[in-house]
Chains A and B, each alone.
Chain A
Amino acid sequence: MIHKFSLFGTNIVLDVNSGSVHIFDDVAYDVLDFYKKHEASTIYGKLSSKYSEAQVTEALEEIGELEACGLLYSKDEYEEYLPLWEKPAVVKAMCLHISHDCNLRCRYCFAGTGNFGGDRINMSADIGKKAIDFLISQSGNRRNLEIDFFGGEPMLNFHVVKEIVEYALSREKKFNKKFKFTLTTNAVLLKEEHKDYINKNFHNIVLSIDGRKETNDRMRIKIDGSGTYGDILPKIKDMADSRNQDNYYVRGTFTRENLDFSKDVLHLADLGFKQVSVEPVVAAMDTGYDIREEDLCTLFGEYESLAAEYVKRAKDGRGFNFFHFMIDLSQGPCISKRLGGCGSGHEYLAVTPSGDIYPCHQFVGMDEFKMGNVMNEGLNKEIQNTFKKSNVYSKEKCRGCWAKFYCSGGCAANAFQFNKDINSPYEIGCELEKKRVECALWAKAQLMDNEL
């Protein structure tokens, strides 16, 4: 399978199964439309008004060379690899819901403004420590373990975060594990003393801000209805600077109320942030701010113009990382990771303040997905296996999709939310993802082309 697209005059051809990426000139790009479908003489005839026979012949030879080298039309051999997945599941990452309360009332919150449809309660240190024990017990030989302190707002219960961190670190040597901690916060309660502790102990911090003041304050509001931009920006800036603009993300959400979201991304970059992620909202159809099919054309244009500016800034020495455009063509994730995706429900689990276990933070509160409780040893293996067996080949829509090794089959929670089936991807999400991958490949091609 191949995928070809042209953006800003660059013709890019992706060989899906090998992962090889090529830049074609116009001759080869046009010839490719007929390659394998017609004899050379027919192809000359079809393209004779544009190119000479010699040009077409050269292009055909070069395309044939790529194919012979396994860099074009290569076979998909990975499905045979799936039986290796029959080995027992290991859990390597946990999202700890430190608090099911929040000091904000963001309009688009998927967590019911913090409580996930339940009580506004905090996790106790005891539950948190049991979650650490549970993770260690389920992690097999996996050495690197990850904990994301999530909410609600985890800073409402930061003393427990610290207790859990200290406990996890105290278990590392005995069990030969290495913990990496992430904190996802709205930044309202961040103070100097937190900063020192976080910078010393946390591998990553995700700081929520949506972009321009008017964008942020439309959605990210306090209990009294006022906006947060003015309060959080100095704190987020200070935190990012204190980490030397690395190992963090400013993370925003765009909705159909700011379809011009590229301006929000660039606003964050203009403020000096070097690690930026702004993602589409995943919201129910009746919310009013949900992304709709008729918005896609506008959003595609936004991603394209953002990619152009992204490359321009990188070439000017003013570059920044945009999470969805980051792509490493030579040393990215292995095919094993790309087949299975985020690992929700088997490698990655969420734990609520009361210790209940769910496949990920987005499934929290759905009774049919409750997998157990950290106070008991057991884990619902049936649910775990259902998620473990979900991969790009178990999803009919993904099998024939050129982008399957980039999104890895998409988000199970989004699929369930829209289609009531974790193997039936959320189509608007797919369309946006495909455009992002194209823009990421294009941006990479421009920057690599500079180096070649």
Chain B
Amino acid sequence: MSTETASTTHEDRGFLDRLLASPFLSDLLSNRLAILGLSLILLITLMGVLTRLAVFVGVLDFGTILDTQFAQPRKHPPCGNPTITGWLGSVGSCQHPFGTDAQRRDVFLRTMYGAWLALKYGTVTVAASTVLGVGLGTLAAYYGGWLDNVVMRTMDVLLSFPSLLLALAVVAIFGTGLWKAVIALTLVYTPRFARVVRGAALKVLEDEYVDATVALGARDWRVIVRHVLPNSLAPITVQSTLNFGLAVIDLAALSFLGFGATAGTPSWGWMLTKGVENGLINGLWWMSFFPGLFLALTVLGFNLLGDGMRDALDPRMQDAVD
């Protein structure tokens, strides 16, 4: 790790200028996999936001998404054709492109709305653990000493637990429900952010420029806000991106095990569970196939982009073999 990159960061240049001038962005944009990931994320975001907007302005009846009141369940295959090949032939020209579920709700609309929920709960989880992690990480890096050691080593212990099992332990304490699952996962992810932020912050603090600022009498929080945070932004973003995928998949997993979303919620995890229960094996594949497909695509999108960002940040991995 050379210190040259860190010492070129002066505050008279705006953050955006620095970002555009850095090789990070061009490296990232030349990475086809990362672009693919970004496109997937944009697509899913568009899906979720548009559906939510449609419900909000009343174009779409929320009842058709949420309603559980239909008395007689009549499962409808996509476009009236129960086989996968048959579906491929007739998609686009029918009323229920993804079929209907056991309550005769349209799986397509529910899946679209599920995108909104995945993004909403994923964002809250990642944002909360980012804030907590940034707080703990900068605190540890800035003050050092025994505080640093105690905070970071505790984070290490938490990191060594398998994430799903740790989340289950937290759920056992706090109880079940989507928001409780968000709390559980926030606690599970915080250590990763704390670790990344501390590393980045230490690198900034080693920089002589910060020493000079401190000598001039700048306050602790000023140094942190003006120098440490802007320069740790890139690793934090990478971590957030990778964790977004994890958050989406883990929230769905908790729902699948019965500790997250509850009846009626059109979240992907819950739809998947219900779809499997209601007869995937009897050939009613569409109820769980579509929510799961979009779940997987979302996670893949975030993983592809996150991976690309990490490579762009750490270019030595690319020229490893010369």
Q: Do A and B truly interact?
A: no
Chain A residues at the B interface, C-beta cutoff of 8 Å: none
